[in-house]
Copies of this chain bind each other. A is one copy, B any other.
Amino acid sequence: MADFVKTKYVTFKEELYLESGRLISPVTIAYETYGKLNASKDNAILICHALTGSAHAAGFHKAGDKPGWWNDMIGSGKAFDTEKYFVICSNILGSCYGATGPSSIDPFTGKHYGRKFPVITVKDMVKAQKRLINHLGLDHLYCVAGGSLGGMQALEWAVTYPDVVRRAILISTAGRITPMAIAFNAIVRLAVTKDPNYKGGDYYDGTPPKDGLAIGRMAGHITYLSDAAFNRKFGRRYATFEGIYDFNGFFEVENYLLYNGYKFTERFDANSYLYLLKAMDIFDLTYEYSSFEEAVSRIKAETLFITFSSDLLFPAYQTEELASLMKKAGNPPKWAQIESDYGHDAFLLEFDEQTKVINEFLKG
């Protein structure tokens, strides 16, 4: 049995300049590491987590615990082999799992930031991660990898710090999300902010906006699956003892979404959810670099894209566009399109195929 892992914390006192022009300090980052940094410090891999993930990417905190969110991918002999690599995962700025975010205490008021927390961007998350990397004494990263919002961070890393990132693995992601994805996030915003318990984001001393957050999470959840996954998981099975003709009866799919929607409210801060969705919405490589072409031509890293055939949230044509521009810029990426009917969630579920292509890529 491997040793238990422990989340570590580092707090940076220096102000972090945000893309919005605002400043924030102090900035605390929760992180975990797996494997050992070698003497030449050239075997570090940064794993970037998705929307509601945490620094706890692998291993167990204690006996009987649930393992980290990508435990099937990180460990001895796995895709990110901890016998070879020093793997780091940190909680993203704005989250509620140990990084500074809207639920943190604002040192100027002594109260939770709430909606006084500045809008943060993917680039801000990456700048905070860069501090952590420096703190760990690293000049460069053997690889940076992530899926979904984690893939956006990895992409931003490769573009912003081309001399630091040697390899980038960009999974189920894009240089900007589609208007349809923004539309789903708009449901969350309205549902959370209209919950009477939301109180303009100042709910920390009372009841959190559970109903609104659950409604929003249900909308999000739909986008993580696919028509095929819905059919396989639930079909049209009826969930309750109420009859079909009872107004309050429902199907298993509804039961599942309700259960997971409310369960989510026990683990995640509503403001954090809104701030992280905002960061997804406004992430757009063309804002800073005027075009995707200019942005991706900065990348020096060897790059691997992974997409999944049934991903509705990050359609493959978005990767197609980035990949062809990188090719044009003289840095042709690898691209593995994996057949899967799991939808966007596939990067959290399809381990065998991902492991194969990642192993090959990291060796190459």
Residues on A lying within 8 angstroms of B by beta carbon are 18-22, 115, 118-119, 121, 176, 178-180, 182-187, 189-191, 194-196, 211-212, 214-215, 218-219, 221-222, 225, 227, 230-231, 233-236, 243-247, 250-254, 257-258, 261, 274-275, 278, 281-282, 284, 287, 312, 315
Q: Are the C-beta atoms of A183 and B218 separated by less than 8 Å?
A: yes
Give bound CA distance, A214 to B261, whole Å.
Answer: 19
Contact status A247-B186, CB under 8 Å: no
Is B250 within 8 A of A186, CB to CB? yes
| Interface contact B194-A227, CB-CB below 8 Å | no
Interface SS of A by simple majority: helix
Cα–Cα distance between A45 and B125 once the two chains are bound (Å): 61
Chain B residues with Cβ below 8 Å from A312 are 227
Is the CB–CB distance between B230 and A218 below 8 Å? no
| CA A274 to CA B247, docked complex, whole Å | 9
Q: Closest Cβ of chain B: how far from A303's Cβ, in Å?
A: 23
Contact A186 B245 (CB under 8 A): no
Shortest beta-carbon distance from A360 to chain B in Å: 31
The listed residue (B19, B184, B196, B245) touching A222 by CB distance below 8 A is B184
- With A178-B230, A230-B179: A187-B219 Cβ-Cβ less than 8 Å: yes
Cα of A268 to Cα of B235 in the assembled complex, Å: 30
Q: Are A178 and B231 in contact (CB under 8 A)?
A: yes
Query: A186 to B258, Cβ gap below 8 A?
Result: yes
- What residue of chain B has the Cβ atom nearest to residue A237's Cβ? B179
Contact A227 B178 (CB under 8 A): yes
Quick one: which of B215, B244, B281, B287 contacts A251, CB cutoff 8 A? B281
